Amino acid sequence: MIKPDTFRDILELSERRNKKLYEICQECEADSLEISQEEIRDRVKVILDAMKEAIKQGLKSKEKSSSGLSGDDCAKLVKKYKSEKTLFPETLQKVLTYSLATVEQNARMGKIAACPTAGSCGIVPAVIIAMSEALNLDEEAQINALITAGLVGETVSNKLALAGAVAGCQSECGVAAAMAAAGLAQMCEGTNEQILNAAALTLKNIMGLVCDPVAGLVEVPCVKRNAFLSIYAVTGAELALAGIESVIPVDEIVDAMKQVGQMMSPKLKESSEAGLATTTTGTRITEELAQKWQED
């Protein structure tokens, strides 16, 4: 069975076959790779395990990245949650700490699962794993959610390259948030329409996000951006599960994102030639790191 290229076609196929989106996805992947659906799920479990290990390692590490720009923010947040009054309930505390733990592991050159990219690697794991713990969901439900998230990312990539250098961070952290929202809606047993609305609501409200890394490193603002957009993904799922729909269909949102990406200045697409990268502080950091690397 050939996987449809658009969300609309995927939804129509799922309705005809009376299946969930993840079921359609794993069937198509199995046919494409000429392996069993059980093998597809086994491969996804490997990714899920890697995500959990990255969170585990990230939660217990305070090691700074080689640049010194990141590495201890997760530890600061964990310390606060253990000793002070907090604004977030325990579940959202986990979402925040898991996202920082993962993306800081990436900055340390640790092993992570790019989802869809290394710079956005903290969002999907944080939402799926933290929320599955809160909802007491088993591994099968987590795998279903991860397949759903992957389907969203892959379908967006049919029209829009998932790279900050092509369309800004809307195509990295933005898509990751949409993937996470869809995966969470699946875990909460949302309908196929609700799952796609979760992705749509999340995507359309992050449109135009630029990619402006300081010193060309995937750290500032990338690390903290993962934490913010993890909570954003939960919001998208919550709205969709309440029956709130996106007025603009998700396929059209992707078209609009592509258009915005094409209109965006190259200086705002991972070049570090504008935005935060060229602020007074961003420029100073870049110069200091360049000097340090030259001396090393």
Residue 162 is predicted with a pLDDT of 97
- If 0-12 CB within 10 Å is exposed, 13-18 middle and 19+ buried, where does residue 155 land? buried
Per-residue model confidence (pLDDT) at position 209: 97
Evaluate if residue 111 carries a pLDDT over 90.
yes
Give CA torsion, residues 223, 230, 207, 21, to 10 deg: 130
What is the rounded CA–CA span in Å between residue 99 and residue 110? 14
- Residue 89 has a pLDDT of 96
Task: Give yes or no for residue 296 having a pLDDT over 90.
Answer: no
The three-class DSSP label of residue 211 is: strand
**7-295 fold:** 2-methylcitrate dehydratase PrpD (1.10.4100)
pLDDT of 1 higher than 80: no
Percent of the chain with pLDDT over 90: 97
With bands split at pLDDT 50, 70 and 90, how would you rate the model's confidence at 205? very high
Split at pLDDT 50, 70, 90, the class of 2 is confident
Q: Report the chain's mean pLDDT, rounded to a whole number.
A: 97
Mean pLDDT of 286-291: 97
Task: Calculate the CA 160 to chain-centre distance.
Answer: 15
pLDDT level of residue 253 (50, 70, 90 thresholds): very high
Looking at the predicted structure, is the pLDDT value of residue 295 above 90?
A: no
| SS3 sequence of the chain | CCCCCCHHHHHHHHHHHCCCHHHHHHHHHHHHHCCCHHHHHHHHHHHHHHHHHHHHHHHCCCCCCCCCCCCCHHHHHHHHHHHCCCCCCHHHHHHHHHHHHHHHHHHCCCCCCCCCCHHHCCHHHHHHHHHHHHHCCCHHHHHHHHHHHHHHHHHHHCCCCCCHHHHCHHHCHHHHHHHHHHHHHHHCCCCHHHHHHHHHHHHHCCCCCCECCHHHCCCCCHHHHHHHHHHHHHHHHHHHHCCCCCCCCHHHHHHHHHHHHHHCCHHHECCCCCHHHHCHHHHHHHHHHHHHHHHC
Q: Would you say residue 109 has pLDDT above 80?
A: yes
Residue with tokens 């992947």: 29
How far apart (Å, rounded) are the C-alpha atoms in residues 205 and 222? 18
The pTM score is 0.97
For the stretch 4-36, pLDDT in tens is 999 999 999 999 999 999 999 999 999 999 999
pLDDT above 70 covers what percent of the chain? 100
Q: Average pLDDT for residues 59-83, to the nearest whole number?
A: 96
Average pLDDT over residues 38-48: 98
User: What pLDDT sits at residue 3?
Assistant: 84
User: Domain map of the chain by residue range?
Assistant: 7-295
pLDDT of residue 254: 98
